[in-house]
Amino acid sequence: MNDSKPIIIAGGGIGGLAAARMLAIKGRKSIVLEQAPEFGEIGAGIQLGPNTHRMFDRLQVTKDMHKIAHFPENIVMMDSVSGEEILKMPLGAKLEAYFGKPYAVIHRADLHAVLLKACMKMNEIDLRTGVAVSNFTPTNNGITVDTEDGQTFEGSGLIGADGLWSKIRAEIIGDGDPIVSGHIAYRAVLPVNEVPAALDKWMEDVVLWAGPRNHLVHYKLRRGELFNIVAVFHSKKYVEGWDEFGDPAELYEHFKGVQPEVQALLKKINVWKMWVLCDRIPAKAWTDGRVTLIGDAAHPMLQYLAAGAGMAMEDAVCLVDLLEKLDGNIETAFAEYPRRRYLRTARVQLTARYYGDIYHAEGVARELRNLIIGEKKTGNPYAGIEWLYGKNSDQIGGY
Ligand SMILES: Cc1cc2nc3c(=O)[nH]c(=O)nc-3n(C[C@H](O)[C@H](O)[C@H](O)COP(=O)(O)OP(=O)(O)OC[C@H]3O[C@@H](n4cnc5c(N)ncnc54)[C@H](O)[C@@H]3O)c2cc1C
């Protein structure tokens, strides 16, 4: 690939590090500018569909990811009012045989740490922390990037991997603040030996308890040593950020009336972290000349499809593949990249909203949900998610 100046990456989250790693694998230099004083991720579980494992292969981190991940046996959907099992989708060997890659869950901090370690091994990557990008200016053959502490960096291009509240997106797309969904997530992680015995039969599964205007997800993490819990409910609250303390009393109020197993789990946790769930309407103009967006900066989504980290890594791999294919021509590759990606990521964004409605259904909608999803107990359990996990989805930018 030509063009000797490094590519500047704003943001050292999952997307930014994946982009740096992929560029380095192709011999291309980058500078990662992360605003936080240290690289890191907030602690919560992330589900890794087979498409994500294909990206791990491309990023050459599969072995390290699999050492620290956990491989559950089923995804189970329960009705948290009646206690009825709505759906059980096998994971494990059956899913792996179907998609050619496994399904796993991982602590976000572990995923990020593996990527960071992989980036630190590459001389092509210059990792900087405590540096917040404030603006950028296109030049004849590149881009200058200014930071809040008064530094200026020169690069051949700029990748905005600066997440939901992206400053780079504000310049390129300018579509205002993220959309507040009215859903709020509380999360906690327990040592696995503190999980109430009432949940014994589901310990090896990813379980989603669907309730009226709420749901709760739990599964083991970190080689099975930890237990991840995320409780989501409707609320008018808005607090920016992903790491605020939650109010247990508010949570219990929203989950009163759910099955005793769920109540027992909720009561076990004293300290919850919460965040308000936001997304945006899908857009496709992610690129302006030598500047483009990846990950949540490009297509923030609600987490109901558990696919945001996977999409960020697919973006990174797609962008660098195009750079290589187009002989390192940044403007051509950056222009082509959103065309390859926007329909796939828009499908995830919009389907995630729809899944949120399904999980939180009440009244007749709840009965209908149980009936329709229950019909999937027979037949091919994976038919509905082939577009997301399968590798034959090139027409919508699948990898
Ligand atoms: C509750 C929840 C559950 C989820 N579950 C899953 C799941 O199961 N599976 C899955 O695949 N995905 C999941 N996701 C989504 C996934 O976590 C995100 O899509 C993914 O982390 C996006 O990565 P990113 O690098 O684009 O953005 P981020 O992780 O937000 O990283 C952006 C980085 O940029 C930095 N930054 C911001 N502004 C600046 C600036 N001006 N200058 C420099 N640095 C800056 C930030 O500090 C941050 O480090 C979930 C998300 C949520 C909220």
Strand order in the sheet with 244-245: 85-90, 74-79, 205-211, 214-221, 226-234, 179-191, 273-279, 244-245
Ligand 1 midpoint to CA 136 (Å): 21
Kindly indicate the confidence band of residue 44, based on its pLDDT and cuts at 50, 70 and 90. confident
Q: Sign of dihedral through CA atoms 256, 241, 165, 122? A: negative
pLDDT > 90? residue 35: yes
Find, among 68, 14, 7, the residue nearest to 314 by Cα. 14
User: In sequence order, what E strands does 39-150 have?
Assistant: 45-48, 74-79, 85-90, 104-107, 125-129, 133-138, 143-147
Q: Whose CA is nearest to atom 48 of ligand 1?
A: 13
- pLDDT: which is higher, 249 or 213: 213
Q: Is the CB of 180 under 6 A from ligand 1?
A: no
Ligand 1 midpoint to CA 295 (Å): 7
Q: For residue range 130-184, list pLDDT tens digits in order.
A: 999 999 999 988 999 999 999 999 999 999 999 999 999 999 999 999 999 989 9
Mean pLDDT for the chain overall:
92
Query: What pLDDT, on the 0 to 100 scale, is given for residue 396?
Result: 46
Query: What pLDDT, on the 0 to 100 scale, is given for residue 328?
Result: 85
| Encoded amino acid at 316, one letter | A
The full set of domain ranges for the chain reads 7-177+280-391
Which of 91, 162, 276 for a ligand 1 pocket mutation test, highest count of atoms within 8 Å of Cβ? 162
Report pTM.
Answer: 0.95
What number of CA atoms fall less than 13 Å from residue 106's CA on the CB side? 28
Ligand 1 midpoint to CA 164 (Å): 7
Kindly indicate the confidence band of residue 196, based on its pLDDT and cuts at 50, 70 and 90. very high
pLDDT > 60? residue 393: no
Ligand 1 midpoint to CA 122 (Å): 23
Query: What pLDDT, on the 0 to 100 scale, is given for residue 397?
Result: 56
Query: What pLDDT, on the 0 to 100 scale, is given for residue 9?
Result: 98
Q: For residue range 287-342, list pLDDT tens digits in order.
A: 999 999 999 999 999 999 999 999 999 999 999 999 999 988 999 999 999 999 99
pLDDT > 90? residue 284: yes
The full DSSP string for 213-281 is TEEEEEEEEGGGTEEEEEEEEE------SS-EEP-HHHHHHHHTTS-HHHHHHHHT-S--EEEEEEE--
Task: Give the long-range contacts of residues 170-175, CB within 8 A, separation 24 or more.
Answer: 171/135, 171/136, 171/288, 171/291, 172/285, 172/286, 172/287, 172/288, 172/291, 172/292, 172/293, 173/283, 173/285, 173/286, 173/293, 175/280, 175/281, 175/283
Q: For residue range 99-128, list pLDDT tens digits in order.
A: 999 999 999 999 999 999 999 999 999 999
Question: What would be the CATH architecture of the domain defined by 7-177+280-391?
Answer: 3-Layer(bba) Sandwich (3.50)
Kindly indicate the confidence band of residue 395, based on its pLDDT and cuts at 50, 70 and 90. very low
pLDDT > 90? residue 40: no
Alpha-carbon distance 332 to 133, whole Å? 24
pLDDT > 60? residue 12: yes
Query: What pLDDT, on the 0 to 100 scale, is given for residue 236?
Result: 75
Alpha-carbon distance 172 to 188, whole Å? 36
| 74-79/85-90 β-pairing | antiparallel
Task: Return the number of other C-beta atoms located less than 10 Å from residue 345's C-beta.
Answer: 28
pLDDT > 80? residue 242: no
Query: What pLDDT, on the 0 to 100 scale, is given for residue 1?
Result: 56
Q: Is the CB of 217 under 6 A from ligand 1?
A: no
| Encoded amino acid at 244, one letter | E
Q: Whose CA is nearest to atom 50 of ligand 1?
A: 303
Q: Is the CB of 278 under 6 A from ligand 1?
A: no
User: Is the Cβ–Cβ distance between 7 and 158 less than 8 Å?
Assistant: yes
User: Is the Cβ–Cβ distance between 265 and 215 less than 8 Å?
Assistant: no
**pLDDT-above-90 percentage for the chain:** 81
Q: Whose CA is nearest to atom 15 of ligand 1?
A: 308
User: Is the Cβ–Cβ distance between 78 and 207 less than 8 Å?
Assistant: yes
| Encoded amino acid at 304, one letter | Y
| Encoded amino acid at 321, one letter | D
Kindly indicate the confidence band of residue 4, based on its pLDDT and cuts at 50, 70 and 90. confident
Query: What pLDDT, on the 0 to 100 scale, is given for residue 244?
Result: 72
Across 45-72, average pLDDT: 96
